[in-house]
């Protein structure tokens, strides 16, 4: 899809996506705990991630306490998340960096956030947009899949997709863009068997045009 076309359809497209997406559940609003939750979330179901981060919060309460935590104790608390052994070290180290390098306050800078081990662009953008109110577009698996299916981005690389989306999505909807598409991806534009027949954006969607409509004609 051409950039000019994408820019023209985005407002109506996003409105229709939002109308099909339930409110996104945020376990925390505090930037530090959003950071920890997002680090834990990689390759882990949301409900498992939320439960693990809640256990850490209830046990430690703040960055200082988590920075001093025992590794084995942390690993036990988050044992159900994917790669828990690695992530236990990462959340402790993230807490130490926030305390020692940033004075206990999560920085509102993507470059500074990405100095924390385990924090890539997606995690940093989630923290910026979902807890610090800084306009950013986080490209996770849902945003990547949906952007490719609709035709908003031709890329498989999330960073290239982010760059493309930043060119076509109005900045005033960057905050909320990721959570809205996440819920759309969970409930409508699913990885397997997307609900194309009842989707309200099928008239814009390249996946629908090339797959569903084609099958219906055969």
Q: How far apart are CA 144 and CA 162, in angstroms?
A: 9
Among 121, 113, 126, residue whose Cα is nearest residue 26: 126
- From the list 55, 140, 160, 190, the catalytic residue is 140
140 catalytically annotated: yes
Nearest to 178 by CA among 126, 134, 133: 126
- 44 backbone dihedrals φ, ψ, rounded to 5°: -140, 140
CA angle 194, 198, 202 (to 5 degrees): 75
Instruction: Give which of 208, 126, 122 is closest to 175, Cα–Cα.
Output: 126
CB 88 within 8 A of CB 70: no
122 is catalytic: yes
Residue in 95, 117, 118 with CA at minimum distance from that of residue 30: 95
What is the CB neighbour count within 10 angstroms for residue 45?
Answer: 12
Contacts of residue 202, defined as CB under 8 A and 6 or more positions apart, other chains included, come to 196, 208, 212
Task: List the catalytic residue out of 50, 87, 122, 130.
Answer: 122
Calculate the alpha carbon distances from 31 to 71, 95, 125 in Å: 22, 12, 12
Q: What is the CA radius of gyration of the chain?
A: 19
| Catalytic (active-site) positions | 122, 140
């Amino acid at each position: 899809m051409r950039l000019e076309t994408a820019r023209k359809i985005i407002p109506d497209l996003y409105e229709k996506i939002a109308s099909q997406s339930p409110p996104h559940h945020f376990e925390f609003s505090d930037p530090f705990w959003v950071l920890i939750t997002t680090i834990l979330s990689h390759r882990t179901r949301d409900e498992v991630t939320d439960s693990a981060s809640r256990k850490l919060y209830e046990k430690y309460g703040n960055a200082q306490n988590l920075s001093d935590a025992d590794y084995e104790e942390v690993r036990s608390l988050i044992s159900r998340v994917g790669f828990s052994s690695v992530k236990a070290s990462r959340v402790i180290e993230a807490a130490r960096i926030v305390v020692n390098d940033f004075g206990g306050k999560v920085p509102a800078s993507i470059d500074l956030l990405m100095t924390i081990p385990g924090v890539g662009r997606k995690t940093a953008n989630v923290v910026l947009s979902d807890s610090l109110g800084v306009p950013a577009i986080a490209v996770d698996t849902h945003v990547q899949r949906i952007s490719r299916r609709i035709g908003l981005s031709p890329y498989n690389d999330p960073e290239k997709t982010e760059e493309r989306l930043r060119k076509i999505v109005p900045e005033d909807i960057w905050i909320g863009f990721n959570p809205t598409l996440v819920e759309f991806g969970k409930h409508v534009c699913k990885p397997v068997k997307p609900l194309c027949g009842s989707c309200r954006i099928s008239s814009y969607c390249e996946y629908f045009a090339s797959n569903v409509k084609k099958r219906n004609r055969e």
